[in-house]
Structure 1
């Protein structure tokens, strides 16, 4: 298997680099012959792409907090592609899906069914008073496309403002409004009318503020809206998932006011972070605002079924002559059953409150680690979403690219899986169902891996 040399400058912002020498070392040293054979077959049969090939490992099972590979090694899953709020294979979800399979496995377009109606009604009840209209789709990228089309229809304006380094999916329209270069590379002309602005980043922002405030990033949004003209929508994640950026509540309050003032629809992409990861059903509830259009997915299918939804206001129910979605599995009975089961478990087990309590525990543990290890430049997070930024120089904030990989692979060897974003941010997304003892064990593994690094911060 040919591996290109690791180029720190090209480290992908979405996830850890799968073509580094460290990935090859992991394959060579950590896997038995059977696993290597499966990885070789995967490499031979699948079209190669960034962050997918060569694969990390070969799995045979996923249950609860744990993944199990072909050799019998278990990993606590702190990545999960953000679908595993209930862990893997939750018994209540599996039972509901099995019952739905036996009853109504598929509904052709033009037909509805009670499970779809119940799912839509439940989502509107937990999303907010005015988000009372729903469209389903097979995945989050599709929902983003529907939201962009609806915004054009409602406002009559085609231009969109988004954030640099954002991720909204991998289709052409989604990468057009996304801000990650690794998805746009070699793609040529994309969707016209997209303007990108800097995200509200506290640690290494493009427009740093002496007092640490991020309100000027919102002011820049208004500046671009006024200068550009014809803007119909601003799309963003309320909390950026990839390298975990948590803007202030004041920032989002001002963004909401700016969008209202200029008749720009606010589209919030809560696909990775909705369904409880912030300790609220949806991230906008953490900030005390409400979007015009809400995009959700990933965890909505409870880690079993690809399923997503767009929620919006009743006043925007004006596109009856436009096919905003029109997907084959638009009202998937299996997807709806999984989503309802997901919500039932979160409510039954009081997981939103548990997540808020776990937030305080993780915050304190990571603060201790930051005080202990000078390589940790910044810790940020909310609920069960955390980013730990490693730097080789705390003043210059030089990204610790090699060390981040070393920590990741050492944690894998010790039984903890997560991804690295921006080349140096350890991104931790544990399931909401994780026990306090499991959470402690995972953070102990991280501490051990950090303690084994041979690193001294510059004076």
Structure 2
């Protein structure tokens, strides 16, 4: 079956012949029976149902399937910074369940205040106000509503290829066809510009600063005075696009010049993924709103939220969120324990060191294999772009999918983004020997699929 290119933007898909062949070869009949029951009862959707496998256990950096096979999980939906079944987080959740399992939304509790205080202490500048929510998509909604309220302007600018969540408001600012296509009408005023792409810029050679992208943005801002916010991922976590510092410093200046709020979506990348607690710290800027989620809940509880500049506390007369689990006592306990574990175990320093190792090791790999067109690394987030020709930059889509399933056979799980990018998102607790083992699996699989 021909698979349209827009279906491959976010991650590997669940309708290919490669997946079917892998399942037929490696899964027991008992597992297949469970998958068929799952497919029977759950609504089908791209990248999800029908599912790949049945997981029986998740602990540390490993997943274990129903047939007893273990996989290093370098995917994890970006929630597993502190590893699965983290005892420190689970113990905090258990204590909170005994003490106060649910907090009605008209009230607060010490654990919620402690978490908000901790976030404010960690965030730079005057990012001093917090609002929590059960999921990343709803956190994006909070940011959009606050931007409208604070500026009186309803328009936003975001980028094509971006992902900000699956709700209708989030896909309106998002830029991936697999979520947006045939879903209209979407929110009015959600304008888009070209994304930063270090390897395949549609505007030609911009050098290291992405200046043509921002020239276009300035062109828009000069002509439209009703843009309230620019919403961007400081590092795109799916195919690992890492703009240089100059890009975001100029973006911050443009926002200040034209009275536009800068909203940075750090849902999959905050809390140590890049070697900093927050990604924007790498750029020496302070956004107006930073959106957090995913790993915030320690891989145990769904937690998200926004951290905003104190001057944006202007919405007392409306409800920005007011979600039932807005200040979940259990979620707050999980989130606070996650941050404490990261700090107590020096995981930021570890992620930075492992980033140096990953970049060195992947650069060596690229020199050995012409199929690798580019490698991009920031902390414990890495992308390996496979191309059939480095000059034309044609994507090696079919081969990349084959590499993924070869790696699964050898005990390594990750996702493929944009059709040809091997995206590695290891837990922050992953050791250097474990990273070396994972990269050996990747390189061995590349050799098997692309013999030189």
Q: Same fold (TM over 0.5)?
A: yes
| Alignment CA distance shift 1:52-1:156 (3 Å) | same
Structural RMSD (CA): 1.0
Structure 2: stretches of 5+ with no match in the other structure:
none
Deviations 1:64-111 (A, max 9, x none): 000000000000000000000001010100100000000001000111
Judge conservation of contact 1:158–1:230 (CA < 8 Å) in 2: yes
Which one is further off, 198-207 or 144-153?
198-207
The alignment covers a number of residue pairs equal to 452
Q: For residues 25-64 of structure 1, what are the structure 2 equivalents within 5 Å?
A: 25-64=21-60
> How far, CA to CA, are the matches of 1:6 and 1:95 in structure 2?
48
Match of 1:188 among 184, 191, 208: 184
Q: Does 1:157 align with 2:164?
A: no
Judge conservation of contact 1:256–1:266 (CA < 8 Å) in 2: yes
Match of 1:127 in 2: 123
Match of 1:388 among 384, 387, 390: 384
Judge conservation of contact 2:358–2:377 (CA < 8 Å) in 1: no
> What is the CA-CA distance between 1:229 and the residue it aligns to?
2.5
Judge conservation of contact 2:143–2:289 (CA < 8 Å) in 1: yes
> What is the CA-CA distance between 1:437 and the residue it aligns to?
1.1
> What is the CA-CA distance between 1:270 and the residue it aligns to?
0.2
Q: Does 1:86 align with 2:77?
A: no
> How far, CA to CA, are the matches of 2:227 and 2:104 in structure 1?
36
> What is the CA-CA distance between 1:26 and the residue it aligns to?
1.1
> How far, CA to CA, are the matches of 1:180 and 1:329 in structure 2?
29
> What is the CA-CA distance between 1:212 and the residue it aligns to?
4.5
Q: For residues 72-221 of structure 1, what are the structure 2 equivalents within 5 Å?
A: 72-209=68-205, 211-221=207-217
Q: Does 1:240 align with 2:241?
A: no
> How far, CA to CA, are the matches of 2:108 and 2:244 in structure 1?
41
Q: Does 1:22 align with 2:22?
A: no
SS in structure 1 at match of 2:383: strand
Judge conservation of contact 1:375–1:455 (CA < 8 Å) in 2: no
Judge conservation of contact 1:236–1:269 (CA < 8 Å) in 2: yes
> What is the CA-CA distance between 1:454 and the residue it aligns to?
3.4
Deviations 1:415-442 (A, max 9, x none): 0000001111000000001111111111
| Alignment CA distance shift 1:303-1:321 (3 Å) | same
Match of 2:63 in 1: 67
> How far, CA to CA, are the matches of 1:184 and 1:60 in structure 2?
33
Deviations 1:87-141 (A, max 9, x none): 1010100100000000001000111000000000000110113100000000110
Judge conservation of contact 1:367–1:379 (CA < 8 Å) in 2: yes
Match of 2:313 in 1: 317
Deviations 1:371-416 (A, max 9, x none): 1111000101201111111011111111101110110000000000
Q: Does 1:453 align with 2:445?
A: no
Match of 2:272 in 1: 276
> How far, CA to CA, are the matches of 2:55 and 2:61 in structure 1?
14
SS in structure 2 at match of 1:452: helix
Give me the TM-score of the superposition, normalised by structure 1: 0.97
Deviations 1:28-50 (A, max 9, x none): 11100111001111111100000
> What is the CA-CA distance between 1:23 and the residue it aligns to?
0.8
SS in structure 1 at match of 2:90: helix
> What is the CA-CA distance between 1:222 and the residue it aligns to?
1.3
Q: Does 1:302 align with 2:269?
A: no
SS in structure 2 at match of 1:409: helix
Judge conservation of contact 1:6–1:19 (CA < 8 Å) in 2: no
> How far, CA to CA, are the matches of 1:238 and 1:211 in structure 2?
18
SS in structure 2 at match of 1:48: coil
Deviations 1:211-243 (A, max 9, x none): 444122222211111123310000000001111
> How far, CA to CA, are the matches of 1:161 and 1:394 in structure 2?
32
> How far, CA to CA, are the matches of 2:447 and 2:215 in structure 1?
42
Judge conservation of contact 1:93–1:338 (CA < 8 Å) in 2: yes
> How far, CA to CA, are the matches of 1:17 and 1:135 in structure 2?
34
Match of 1:435 among 422, 431, 437: 431
Judge conservation of contact 1:404–1:420 (CA < 8 Å) in 2: yes
Match of 1:344 in 2: 340
> What is the CA-CA distance between 1:455 and the residue it aligns to?
4.6
Match of 2:405 in 1: 409
Judge conservation of contact 1:8–1:401 (CA < 8 Å) in 2: no
